[in-house]
Amino acid sequence: MCRPLSARCAESRMNHRHGYNARMSRIQALYHLTADSASIEGRAQALAAEQSIEMPPAAVTNAYVRNEVIATIEGIQPLDTHRFAVMLGIATVTTGMEAGQLMNMLFGNCSLQDDVTLVDVSFPDDFVAAFPGPRFGLAGIRERVGAHGRALTMTALKPQGLGADALASLCGTFARAGLDIIKDDHGIANQHYAPFAARVQACQRALREANALTGGRSVYAPSISGGPRQIAEQLKIVREEGVGMVLLCPMLLGVGSLVEMATENLGVALLAHPAMAGAARIAPPLLLGRLFRLFGADATVFPNYGGRFSYSPETCLALADAARLPWHGLRPIAPVPAGGMSVARVPEMLSVYGEDTILLIGGALLSAGAELYERSCDFVNAVAATAQSGGGV
């Protein structure tokens, strides 16, 4: 699942049966399909129709649609006796250059078909240029928090149910300990016990006081939620309060919201959270790495291996590659492995991910109780020590 796309594309091109339609710019979308050798050709043709014109191709009379708009089959390869890799060529014009419509063309209807997974995509350069991509990227986040030559540290304000003042107190403690980024837990939205406006004001105040004390440049990343109107109201508060970063769940808000936030260039870094993203049968490196980067995320949270979630080490590394490796000239973004991490695992995680990473430890810090400040300092120092010893990649 996690081999580089370039290798896959090369394989596919060598093996293609239907020819590449050079007349129109196409997205190459790689699917895995459950089928047998007798049925795969027909199944691939059905998928190509489903993900483009959604009607029988024989009934299409318009020449432009027949020649340009219908998805092409660019390659079929057996994976084993009951699974095949199928590369479709999806015309870029069918996306209208919109993120939601891109998701729709890649996986909208076939999400309803159990025999299909979306494994990888390859975009033409001019298609990528139509999307904002990350405004900050990892380098911009480094600048903002003043962290160079080492990994970055992040924690989460939780649990939800605490009031704005209690969350702000936690925020201040974390900032005094020198954490780079202090984000809302993704379950913190606009609940009555800590409404967005009051929470952001209180946390930003605590952050400013702590930064003044330490000379540090920690940032607070509140969680954005709701429909378009509420999102706009929250972003207004974000600007007024001088917030440095925000957290959002693209699969809950809609990927179009992420694109508009990046396009409007709000001056805040965008931290994407994978809530509701994992259930989709879309390869995590593609969705959380490549596509969220294309849509404008500057950092992407994902479940690290060995925690509470089920991603393999291979999936996690492929995801980090998708976030950071050169790709169409878009800024590298920060992989943020998370989910049941601990200070004890810092050296291991840095040896795996290297310093161009944001380490997120939440619950394990909060479990320190009265020693929250000390445990937070341990985290900061563990990362700093690894940098000083020349650890990481």
Stretch near its own copies under the rule CB under 8 A, chosen from 13-21, 123-131, 276-284, 373-381: 276-284
Q: Residue 289 in contact with residue 312, Cβ under 8 Å? A: no
Residues 345-374 that bind its own copies (CB under 8 A): 362-363, 366-367, 369
Residues 143-162 that bind its own copies (CB under 8 A): 156, 158-162
Rounded Cα–Cα distance for residues 34 and 43 (Å)? 9
Q: Pick from 21, 108, 355, 385: which binds its own copies (CB under 8 A)?
A: 108
Least gap, CB of 279 to its own copies (angstroms): 4
Check residue 282 for interaction with its own copies (CB under 8 A): yes
Check residue 98 for interaction with its own copies (CB under 8 A): yes
Q: Return the number of the residue (57 or 354) whose C-beta is nearest its own copies.
A: 57
Residues 3-42 that bind its own copies (CB under 8 A): none
Rounded Cα–Cα distance for residues 55 and 97 (Å)? 22
Rounded Cα–Cα distance for residues 93 and 27 (Å)? 10
Q: Pick from 124, 278, 306, 391: which binds its own copies (CB under 8 A)?
A: 278
Q: Phi and psi of 96, rounded to 5°? A: 60, 15
Q: What are the DSSP calls for 169-186, one per residue? A: HHHHHHHHHT-SEEEE-T
Q: Pick from 93, 129, 213, 325: which binds its own copies (CB under 8 A)?
A: 93
Q: Return the number of the residue (15 or 312) whose C-beta is nearest its own copies.
A: 312
Rounded Cα–Cα distance for residues 197 and 219 (Å)? 17
Least gap, CB of 114 to its own copies (angstroms): 5
What does the longest C-alpha to C-alpha distance in the chain come to?
Answer: 73
Count of residues that bind its own copies according to CB under 8 A: 89
Check residue 286 for interaction with its own copies (CB under 8 A): no
Q: Return the number of the residue (61 or 81) whose C-beta is nearest its own copies.
A: 61
Residues 164-183 that bind its own copies (CB under 8 A): 166
Token code pair at residue 339: 């989910």
Q: Return the number of the residue (77 or 113) whose C-beta is nearest its own copies.
A: 113
Check residue 306 for interaction with its own copies (CB under 8 A): no
Q: Phi and psi of 224, rounded to 5°? A: -95, 135
Q: Residue 331 in contact with residue 134, Cβ under 8 Å? A: yes
82-102 b/e with 16+ CB inside 10 Å = b?
ebbbbbbbbbbebbeeebbeb
Least gap, CB of 252 to its own copies (angstroms): 4
Q: Return the number of the residue (4 or 228) whose C-beta is nearest its own copies.
A: 228
Least gap, CB of 180 to its own copies (angstroms): 20
Check residue 201 for interaction with its own copies (CB under 8 A): no
294 Ramachandran zone, left/alpha/beta (phi>0; psi -120 to 50): alpha
Matching residue, tokens 């430890």: 361
Q: Pick from 177, 249, 319, 350: which binds its own copies (CB under 8 A)?
A: 249
Least gap, CB of 129 to its own copies (angstroms): 16
Residues 63-92 that bind its own copies (CB under 8 A): 64-65, 68-70
Q: Return the number of the residue (67 or 214) whose C-beta is nearest its own copies.
A: 67
Least gap, CB of 255 to its own copies (angstroms): 7
Kindly give the residue spans of alpha helices, DSSP state H, lying in the chain. 5-15, 40-50, 63-64, 99-107, 125-128, 137-145, 164-177, 196-214, 228-240, 250-253, 255-264, 284, 292-295, 313-324, 346-353, 363-366, 372-388
